[in-house]
Chains A and B, each alone.
Chain A
Amino acid sequence: MIVGNKKNMGATLRRLIAYILKEYKWQCLLVALCILVSTVANIGGTLFMRNLIDDYILPFVNQTQPDLYPLFKALLVMAAVYYVGVFCTWAYNYIMIYVSQGMLKKVRDDLFRHMEHLPIRYFDTKSHGDIMSIYTNDTDTLRQVISQSMPQMLSAVITIVGVFVSMLVLSRPLTLITVVMVVCMVFATRNISSKSGHYFVKQQTDVGSLNGYIEEMMEGQKVVKVFCHEKACIQDFKTLNGKLRDSTNNANRYASILMPVLGNLGYVSYAVIAMVGACLSIFGGQMTLGTLASFLQFSRSFNQPISQLSQQLNSIIMAIAGAERIFGLLDEEPEKDGGYVKLVNAHYDEKGNLTEVPDRTGMWAWKHYHKADNTTTYQPMQGDVVFDHVDFGYTEDKEILHDIEIFARPGQKVAFVGATGAGKTTITNLINRFYDVQDGKIRYDGININKIRKDDLRHSLGLVLQDTHLFTGTVMDNIRYGKLDAAEAEVIQAAKLANAHEFIMKLPDGYQTELKGSGNSLSQGQRQLLAIARVAVADPPVLILDEATSSIDTRTEKIVQEGMDRLMKGRTVFVIAHRLSTIKNSDVIMVLDHGRIVERGDHDSLLAKRGMYYQLYTGKLEQE
């Protein structure tokens, strides 16, 4: 957590308030009104108590037949004022629940919505724990501030203004003393809260590093057990834990001395006012005893909201830091999509022209709108992919791929082999535009992929990764991920194609088995089968298989391979595999080394070359 400079903090706070007001303008207005009424009722109560004795009691003392009717009436009026105040307190608390919880939902939803549209680069460069903590820690800080701090601040400000005006009316010199004391208090607050703020930041960093340690160790906890390494881990943990304790201790210490300091400075100011006031009334004579007494009363009610404000200060500082991180994510540039070429369902009409149809035909076409002459052309989607002198690096200064040229004709199987870091996965990252090329062009059916709408481009590409990510939900839901409106029969068909049907039927609830925690209850091989079924149901013309079968045992692989062969039929396929058996029958094999294609050809010709492929094939080189 980074607390920026003051100017930034102010800007963040303004932005946060604007964000809330945009959603809940009327509610906030109503809340402000309720707070006003409830605060005024409270001040009114204080004033009433002073008048009670003078106006309603003293006149009747020692009367035998006292007229208590005026007192009764006054009490009734006060009761009305008080209970309206109580009602308003309840009302604003009640409305604030909806505002604060609604805001938290909105913040979470906005964060998630925005995150879903961020480029892959964001996820590759940010630590996942860090992203998570925006949703948990940072959003939580907002809850307290919206539901408590903000209303309290408002009520405190109203009280301060009201009391200050009353004080000015009563005595200007004494008000000056109060102001001086308030300046002292503000000074003390700034001093103390900047110290506690410093330690709160430190606490947050320490929490972060402890968090990181726990996460790493918990993931490897089974390894820790197997190596009986528990003692050493406890020792490491102790160090980090102690550090966190120190910063927490300091942060809380400064935060919690703020209240007594301010409260007692208030008493000091009371004493000073009493002394100066006594001087004024004794020597100056321009002040009555009653005025002084009321003034002292007010100086007390002046201090209370100030210490209330100071108490909220820390949660506000924390919340601003949280809000800064939240806005940081919301300000991340989303994935840009300048594409306009769409993918549509198509068929050939009687005349043999390709035309667009609303229903799924199993045939797809690129709908290409030409701005220049205002015409639309259709072009069948075939799966022809060309890399034309492509250069790429994840950062500007480090080029990963150099001058890559690939021609994949529709229906061809293109394989990439090479050592770790040779750039195999990077190439597939470029085809579906997870990253954009730096130089050169990638053409899909002759169209520059930058011109194709990203969603449509990705719809046409099926991706199976080495680490299968399954989602919480049933097996059926997970396969249906490929095509949300797939009928049950389609899903089962796809599962059969991927040879996943058999094991699914053995699960306790078959297709309705709930998967939790990204499908941890399934073996890697089973998860991989589901991932393949998921792509099968999506039925894309181009497949990208990144180490898709590497974690399946060979016996299962044979089963998967059958399904995969069926799936690959008639599609353009890009395969990355370390099992050379998987790629042996590819049409073209590209051997990559340090971001360059060093050999290309089919299996037999490459073997005959006795080059790098031969070395890999004979097990002389290690892959991933």
Chain B
Amino acid sequence: MFKTLVKYIGEFKRDAVLTPVLVVMEVIMEVIIPIIMAVIIDYGLESRSLGKVVLIGLAMIVAAMLALWFGVESGRTASSASSGFAMNLRQEMYEKIQTFSFSNIDKFSTAGLVTRMTTDVMNVQQAFQMSIRICVRAPIMLVSAMVMTFMIHPRFAHIFLVVIVCLGAVLALISSKANPTLRKVFHQYDELNAKVQENVNGIRVVKSFVREDHEIGRFETESEKIRSLFVNAEKLIALNSPVMQFSMYSCILLISWMGAKMIIAGSLTEGQLMSMFTYVINILISLMMVSMTFVMLIMSRASGERISEVLMEEPDLFNVSHAVREVADGSIDFEQVGFAYPSNPGKEVISDLDLHIRPGETIGVLGGTGSAKSSFAALIPRLYDVTRGEVRVGGVPVKDYDMASLRDSVAVVLQKNVLFSGTIRENLRWGKEDATDDEIINVCRLAQADEFIRDFPEGYDTHIERGGTNVSGGQKQRLCIARALLKKPKILILDDSTSAVDTKTDALIRRAFREKIPDTTKIIIAQKISSIQDADRILVFDNGRMKSVGTHEELLESSPIYREIYESQTKEGGDDDSRE
């Protein structure tokens, strides 16, 4: 996983490499400074010469200043490398997500993706910054101290070696035990966040059923789960620093005892013993730092995994190698198509669909809730791949097209449609980036949106709030239709896209389609019969199967389902169906 992530350092490699170098320089200075200190005491003060003391003192100040400069520089490069790394990770993830197919998107929740790109990246960034500074500093300290002890007396070096190996093993054990629990913690975090989100969004429901206490109870169960998991993980991690201290103190005691005997025997000087203590502390502080970064790494590992999950996710729709870039016409053929969502592969939502649509035809699609009308439409621009059979557009299987070219020719107005924050004009230009004002006004006229846009004080420059909350449902739908029309598609799919538009405007939109874009194949999925009854053919879906096909009149004769819907809408409803 670390390998996957590390390659995204990219252009910040220079800083990432420079940091350890600077850290090494800083450490060297820090190793020199204590030697100078010893010199101040041993030579300067004992010789009682002020000149010497000042000279050595100044040398030490210079060394300290150099160390300071190296330190500051390494801090600068470290933060540049780590923040750059984080930026690249976010960018990569975002770009990766852009290549996702609909079923990839279905797999990750919106909230999950946001956390991965913010909190998780922050965690990794911090761990990375720590590792390139501390993980370099500590081993160097360790090695230089080890070398010094070895030079003083190899027996001490053996003690250190044994202690370090034991310590390393214990630390590794702790982290390997803590890691799975920490991963559970992060999973539990998602659950807790979901609970909060649910309540923030559904607060009206909670309050109107007076279920505040009920929700509080459920929330507390979740937060207790986090607490107990986290406590379990941290109990292990909390062993780190006592274990470290235990080793350090044991070393000191052991060295004191052995050292004392050696001094008495004359094989060691007092000064050497004093420096041994300094090295014990140096070595163990280095190990302490390593273990601290270790904890950070464990914590960030879960985050790193969540990031690489996104980065490693393979888009499950591909362009074939010699992709067709031109869609010939708006004909559509379904041959023996079966389809199941990748999330639920066992359950076919569409079965044995055979259908041939001519260019320019207007097709109405009707069916009850969950009858797979939307799934049917999603197969045409290849938002999902069929599980059986084949879908062809313009005579070519959709799998053979370059996806961007296919989707440019097949415009879908989704059922759950979204406008983005920005002006109306900016939103419409999604359909065609370089659209002229004339083109924009033209499609807005077709979608019957021009009039209400002009009524806004700022017209086409009116700002749309996030999620399109400042326009009405009907206006939003018409803007979405206009946006799709701007693509000049060969096939236009409206997935229940005029449900909030009044019947009269709805009829005007369809008339405009008929007159102004006669060659475009139009597929209209609707709940209101009035929206489709003038279509060339109407498909009636029920439970993933196409039950009947025909014109309005034919279906009234032959399809009981159609007749039932028709009657429900005309008799009881009287919903201005036939009033256009």
Contact = CB atoms under 8 A, between A and B. Distances in A.
A210 B91 CA distance: 12
B414 interface: yes
A96 B230 CA distance: 12
Contacts of A394: none
Given A135-B193, A261-B71, A580-B575, A554 B466 contact: no
Interface in B90-113: 90-91, 94-95, 97-102, 105, 109-110, 113
B135 interface: no
A442 to B, nearest CB: 16
B161 interface: no
Interface residues of A, number: 164
B260 A57 contact: yes
A82 B129 contact: no
A271 B57 contact: yes
Given A252-B129, A267-B64, A93 B241 contact: yes
Contacts of A108: 192, 219, 223
Interface string A580-617: 11001000000000000000000000000000000001
Interface in B429-488: 430-431, 433, 466-467, 472-475, 483, 487
Interface string B541-580: 0000000000000000000010011001100111110011
A69 to B, nearest CB: 12
B54 A275 contact: yes
B197 interface: yes
B257 interface: yes
B35 interface: no
Given A82-B249, A223-B417, A237-B94, A264 B574 contact: no
B527 A554 contact: yes
Interface stretch (B201-209, B328-336, B385-393): B201-209
A578 B194 CA distance: 32
Contacts of B46: 289
B264 A219 contact: no
A491 to B, nearest CB: 14
Interface stretch (B162-170, B351-359, B500-508): B500-508
B420 interface: yes
B235 A94 contact: yes
A419 B223 contact: no
A380 B368 CA distance: 42
B383 interface: yes
A371 to B, nearest CB: 25
Nearest to A547: B473
B256 A226 contact: no
B266 A116 contact: no
Interface in A494-553: 503, 517-518, 523-526, 534, 538, 550-553
A377 interface: no
Contacts of B421: 216
B417 A242 contact: no
A418 B46 CA distance: 98
A262 to B, nearest CB: 10
Interface in A62-100: 62-63, 66, 68, 71-72, 75, 78-79, 82-83, 85-87, 89-90, 93-94, 96-98
B220 interface: yes
B76 interface: yes
Contact of A226 (B64, B207, B412): B412
Contacts of B171: none
A238 B572 contact: no
Given A97-B234, A222-B414, A228-B407, A538 B209 contact: yes
Contact of A135 (B196, B214, B403, B475): B196
A623 B502 contact: yes
B79 interface: yes
Interface string A227-255: 11110111001100110111011111101
A273 to B, nearest CB: 9
Interface stretch (B114-122, B140-148, B175-183): B114-122
A52 interface: yes
A96 B568 CA distance: 67
Interface in B33-48: 33, 37, 40-41, 44-46, 48
A438 interface: no
A112 B41 contact: no
Interface string B359-388: 000000001111000000000010100000
Interface string A375-400: 00000000000000000000000000
A233 B98 contact: yes
Contact of B208 (A229, A463, A517): A463
A45 B255 CA distance: 13
Given A61-B263, A101-B234, A619 B503 contact: yes
A463 B204 CA distance: 9
B200 A128 contact: yes
Contacts of A94: 235, 238
A458 B91 contact: no
A272 B37 CA distance: 12
A355 interface: no
Nearest to B259: A57
B60 interface: yes
Nearest to B408: A228
Interface stretch (A14-22, A166-174, A278-286): A278-286
Interface string B69-103: 01110111011101110110011001101111110
B75 A257 contact: yes
A578 B500 contact: yes
Contacts of A120: 203-204, 207
A225 B407 contact: yes
A226 B215 contact: no
B120 to A, nearest CB: 11
Contacts of B76: 253, 257
B263 A57 contact: yes
A113 interface: yes
A93 B230 contact: no
B184 interface: no
A93 to B, nearest CB: 4
Nearest to B238: A93
Interface string A150-187: 00000000000000000000000000000000000000
A580 B576 CA distance: 9
B245 A89 contact: yes
Contact of B253 (A78, A282, A584, A623): A78
B119 A137 contact: yes
Nearest to B232: A97
A45 B94 CA distance: 54
A255 to B, nearest CB: 8
Contacts of B404: 228
Interface stretch (A320-328, A407-415, A464-472): A464-472
Contact of B249 (A83, A215, A557): A83
A589 to B, nearest CB: 15
A3 interface: no
A271 B223 contact: no
B64 to A, nearest CB: 4
Contact of A292 (B45, B197, B473): B45
Interface in B501-534: 501-505, 527-529
18 contacts: A57-B263, A71-B260, A98-B231, A115-B199, A116-B216, A120-B207, A210-B118, A214-B118, A222-B102, A222-B383, A232-B433, A267-B33, A267-B64, A278-B44, A455-B210, A503-B369, A554-B573, A578-B500
Given A112-B220, A255-B79, A265-B68, 12 more contacts: A61-B263, A71-B257, A108-B192, A214-B117, A222-B418, A226-B411, A226-B414, A228-B404, A268-B64, A296-B40, A469-B204, A561-B572
